[in-house]
Amino acid sequence: MSKYLSVSALTKYIKYKFDQDPHLQTVLIKGEISNFKKHFSGHLYFALKDKGSVISAMMFKGNASKLNFEPKEGDEVLIEARVSVYEARGSYQIYVNKMQLDGIGNLYQRLEELKKKLHKAGYFDQSLKKPIPKYPQKIAVLTASTGAAIRDIHSTINKRYPLVEQVQINTLVQGKQAKQDIIQNIQKADALGVDTIIIGRGGGSIEDLWNFNEEEVVQAIYECQTPIISAVGHETDFTLSDFVADVRAATPTQAAVIATPDKYELLQQLKQTKLTLTRSMQQLLKHHSKHLSHLSSYYKFKQPTLLYDQQLQRKDDLEKQLIQTMMLRIQNTTYQLSLYNQRFNLKQLNERVTHLNETKAKLSSRLQQTMKSTLKHHQNAYVNKLERLNNLSPTNTMLRGYTIVNKDDKVVTSTQALKENDEIELTMKDGNVDAIVKKVRCKNE
Residue at which a domain ends, from 101, 118, 139: 101
How far apart are alpha carbons 264 and 280 in whole angstroms? Answer: 24
Question: The domain spanning residue 92 has which CATH number?
Answer: 2.40.50.140
Q: What is the pLDDT of residue 194?
A: 94
User: Between 16 and 219, where is the model more confident?
Assistant: 219
Rg (CA), the chain: 61
Instruction: Check whether residue 249 and residue 150 sit in a common domain.
Output: yes
- According to DSSP, the residues that pair with 192 across neighbouring strands are none
Least Cα distance to 126 among 251, 243, 221 occurs for 243
Give domain status of residue 201, yes or no. yes
What's the first-to-final CA gap in the chain, in angstroms?
A: 151
Least confident window among 242-251, 359-368, 389-398, 434-443 = 389-398
Examine the domain organization and report whether 159 and 279 are in the same domain. no
Domain carrying residue 421: 400-437
422 in Cβ contact with 408 (< 8 Å): no
pTM equals: 0.47
Let me know whether 42 and 156 are in one domain. no
For residue 268, the model assigns a pLDDT of 92
35, 71: one domain:
yes
Distance between CA atoms of residues 46 and 34, nearest Å: 6
Residue 214 resides in a domain: yes
3-state secondary structure of 440: coil
pLDDT at 210: 84
| DSSP per-residue letters across 77-140 | EEEEEEEEEETTTTEEEEEEEEEEE-THHHHHHHHHHHHHHHHHTTTT-GGGPPPPPSS-SEEE
Residue 277 lies in a domain: yes
Residue (of 153, 155, 161, 160) closest to 137 by Cα position = 161
Determine, yes or no, domain membership for 333.
Answer: no
**% of residues, the chain, pLDDT over 70:** 91
Dist CA 225 CA 236 (whole Å): 28
Please, where are the H alpha helices in 21-92?
Answer: 61-64
Determine the length of the chain: 445
Alpha helix ranges (H) inside 262-416: 263-296, 299-302, 309-343, 346-391, 394-399
The answer to whether 49 and 34 have CB atoms below 8 angstroms apart is: yes
Domain membership flag for residue 193: yes
Q: What pLDDT, on a 0 to 100 scale, did the predictor assign at position 59?
A: 94
Asked whether residue 419 falls in the same domain as residue 304, the answer is: no
Q: Which uninterrupted H or E stretch holds 81?
A: strand 76-86
What is 219-246 written as a DSSP string? HHHHH-SS-EEEEES-TT---HHHHHSS
Question: Are residues 161 and 245 both part of a single domain?
Answer: yes
CATH (domain of 211): 3.40.50.2300
**Domain identity same for 256 and 272:** no
Distance between CA atoms of 55 and 31, rounded to whole angstroms?
A: 10
The SS3 call for residue 327 is helix
- What pLDDT is stored for residue 209 in this prediction? 83
Separation between Cα atoms, residue 324 and residue 161, nearest integer Å: 79
Judgement on whether residues 138 and 257 belong to the same structural domain of the protein: yes
More confident residue, 165 or 414: 165
- Residues in contact with 213: Cβ distance below 8 Å, sequence separation at least 6, in sequence order: 111, 114, 239, 240, 241
Does 48 map to a domain?
A: yes
Q: Number of folded domains in the chain?
A: 4
Place 285 in a pLDDT band, splitting at 50, 70 and 90.
Answer: very high
pLDDT at 1 over 60: no
Order of strands across the sheet that contains 431-436: 410-411, 404-407, 423-428, 431-436
Tell me if 339 is assigned to some domain.
no
Decide which of 268 and 439 is more confident: 268
Give the pLDDT mean for 103-109.
65
Q: Does residue 352 lie in a domain region?
A: no
Domain boundary pick from 101, 116, 140: 101
**Of residues 41 and 293, which shows the higher confidence score?**
41
Same domain? For 246 and 272 the reply is no
Are residues 273 and 232 part of one domain?
no
CA–CA gap between residue 100 and residue 299 (Å, rounded) = 102
Same domain, 162 and 195: yes
Q: Write down the pLDDT at residue 98.
A: 92
Instruction: Characterize the bridge pairing of strands 54-59 and 91-101.
Output: parallel
pLDDT for res 104: 59
251 shares its domain with 293: no
- Note whether 86 and 19 are within 8 A (CB): no
For residues 26 and 82, the answer to whether their CB atoms sit within 8 Å is yes
